[in-house]
């Protein structure tokens, strides 16, 4: 078991494999998505127990609209049901929920449910749970650039003030430390347009485990792998070992 001192502060996950998990059991894809909710609940609990500060889950990408329409419709309904059912549990456990992504594309019913859920948990001080829905890394960078340009045009910011730090203030996850550990379940080895800005120095971990089977043991394996890596951030190994900053 990994000690708390080795735990990442922020974990980002692509929850992949729900459809294949269902197919292996002769069930429709939505069956896998429903069972994936149980893994979400377990993962949230794990992060709370281990003292993780933030958890960001990729629930629905901007490219997922290209899936069969019946699956997309069922996913939207499932999202509403899960938000309504789980938000009280999250609030009781002091979890602060934030939905990141282009939520204007969702129907009014889902938008209202998102607003209610975020409002209910807005003052909580525990785990910061971010759900990426209709999200894409390229979209996030683009919308940040648009907001930045408007801020400059309005005279609130000078061109000379723009750097990585100021640009980052306009990203969806502004104010939250960048992910230390990225996990993708389901066997694919790519980041699929997810948190492109924030993953610059994140440790990447890929597992063949399908998301509905991702449990505490699987999470521990990911954290164990993370804890054994040397994070240099451009420094040499000697500098890291000596604790030097330059």
C-alpha to C-alpha distance for 16 and 14, rounded to whole angstroms? 6
Catalytic residue numbers, as ranges? 16, 64
Structure tokens given for 140? 């996030």
Q: Which sign does the torsion angle of CA 106, 108, 110, 115 carry?
A: positive
Of 119, 117, 127, nearest to 79 (Cα)? 117
C-alpha to C-alpha distance for 103 and 105, rounded to whole angstroms? 5
Write the Ramachandran bin of 94: left for phi over 0, alpha for psi from -120 to 50, otherwise beta: left
């Amino acid at each position: 078991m990994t000690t708390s001192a080795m735990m990442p502060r922020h974990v980002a996950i692509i929850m992949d494999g729900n459809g294949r998990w269902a197919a292996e059991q002769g069930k429709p894809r939505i069956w896998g998505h429903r069972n994936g909710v149980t893994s979400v609940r377990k993962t949230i609990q794990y992060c709370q127990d281990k003292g993780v500060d933030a958890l960001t889950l990729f629930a629905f990408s901007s490219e997922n609209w290209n899936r069969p329409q019946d699956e997309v419709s069922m996913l939207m309904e499932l999202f509403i049901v899960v938000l309504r059912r789980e938000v009280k549990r999250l609030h009781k456990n002091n979890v602060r929920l934030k939905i990141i992504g282009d939520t204007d594309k969702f129907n009014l019913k889902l938008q209202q449910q998102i607003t209610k859920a975020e409002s209910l948990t807005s003052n909580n001080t525990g785990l910061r749970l971010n759900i990426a829905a209709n999200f894409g890394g390229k979209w996030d960078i683009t919308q940040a650039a648009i907001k930045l340009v408007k801020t400059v045009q309005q005279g609130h910011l000078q061109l000379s003030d723009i750097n990585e730090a100021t640009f980052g203030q306009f990203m969806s996850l502004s104010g939250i430390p960048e992910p230390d550990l990225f996990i993708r379940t389901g066997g694919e080895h790519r980041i699929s347009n997810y948190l492109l800005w924030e993953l610059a120095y994140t440790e990447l971990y890929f597992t063949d485990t399908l998301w509905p089977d991702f449990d505490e043991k699987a999470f521990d394996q990911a954290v164990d792998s993370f804890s054994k890596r040397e994070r240099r951030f451009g420094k040499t190994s000697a500098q890291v070992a000596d604790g030097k900053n330059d």
